[in-house]
Copies of this chain bind each other. A is one copy, B any other.
Amino acid sequence: MIKLLVVGTVAYDSIETPFGKADNVLGGSALHFTNAASFFTDVGMVATVGKDFDLGGISFLKNRNVDMSGIKVDKGKTFRWEGKYGYDLNQAITLKTELNVIETFKPRIPSHFSEADFVFLANIDPELQSYVINQIKNPNTVVALDTMNFWIENKFNALIDVVKRVDMLVINEAELREISKEHNLVKGAKKIMEQGPSCIVAKRGEYGVLMLNREEIFLAPAYPLEDVFDPTGAGDTFAGGLMGYLANVGDISSETIKQAIVMGSVMASFNVEDFSINRLKGLEYNEIRERYTAFKRCLQFGDIKFE
């Protein structure tokens, strides 16, 4: 039995940053997510790839107990994304998107995945996200959702329908503003929580994360790196660390969510140090522990002592 299910994309990316170039490398939301989450828990992936996809390239994930039986090989080519970044690595410029097999993706959840304790719906059509939730058989499953501006602008009603059904939103601050129609993030998050979700995690790129639930607000900056090589997949890697850690601990108390957010930030900080999934592929547990501790040191301070 898996503890954590992810539904999203597996892709071939071609990326150019000011520091280098990589063609046809492994990417996609479900892959970046799993690459991080599998350090913490058993993950099941649901995605689709084309006949051209080399499954050997991701077989290392089996050593981390990833169940890939939900990856469907379809006729046609694998989803491809081509993009570049300037020195402001917060802003990706999409050069080309080839949907290919994604166009007809209809995520069927294998029955041995349908009892997962945690589910992450990566950024896909909100109607498909609802379709996934319909297949979940465990009434206590914690469901988290990501989305993008395209769905907010083109399928707003379907998106709101699925937002109402999930426990957590893990989205960019710009998306939070767009969905909630509030410029202020705290107000926006509260407005969305009135619709159903009990926790909003707003990603702010190099500035870190803002979390609101019904009890409190938590703020975490991003880990301060000197060399950011390629930010592709940082958001999904963050979500993977976050959800993987939650699934490992097995609760969504404020205390656990805060640690999970920092762990997500730690995993994202590794991801941006190399192209594609390379940095996390050979990552060691002691590196994760060390960075978590180093990060905590950057964020701690004492009580006031003025009279």
Q: Which positions in A face B, CB cutoff 8 Å?
A: 40, 87-88, 183-187, 204, 207-208, 210, 216-221, 224-228, 245, 248-249, 255, 258-259, 261-263, 289, 292, 296-306
Contacts and interface: CB of A to CB of B under 8 A. Distances in A.
Contact of A210 (B224, B289, B302): B224
Contacts of A224: 185-186, 210, 217, 219
Contact of A302 (B204, B259, B289): B259
Nearest to A248: B306
Contacts of A210: 221, 224
Contacts of A219: 208, 221, 224, 298-299
Contacts of A245: 304, 306
Closest 10 pairs (CB-CB, A-B): A258-B301, A219-B221, A207-B207, A87-B183, A248-B306, A186-B226, A217-B298, A217-B224, A219-B298, A186-B224
21 contacts: A87-B183, A184-B225, A184-B227, A207-B207, A207-B208, A210-B224, A216-B298, A217-B224, A217-B298, A218-B299, A218-B301, A219-B221, A219-B298, A258-B300, A258-B301, A258-B302, A259-B303, A261-B301, A263-B304, A296-B301, A299-B299
Contacts of A301: 218, 220, 255, 258-259, 261-262, 296
A306 B266 CA distance: 14
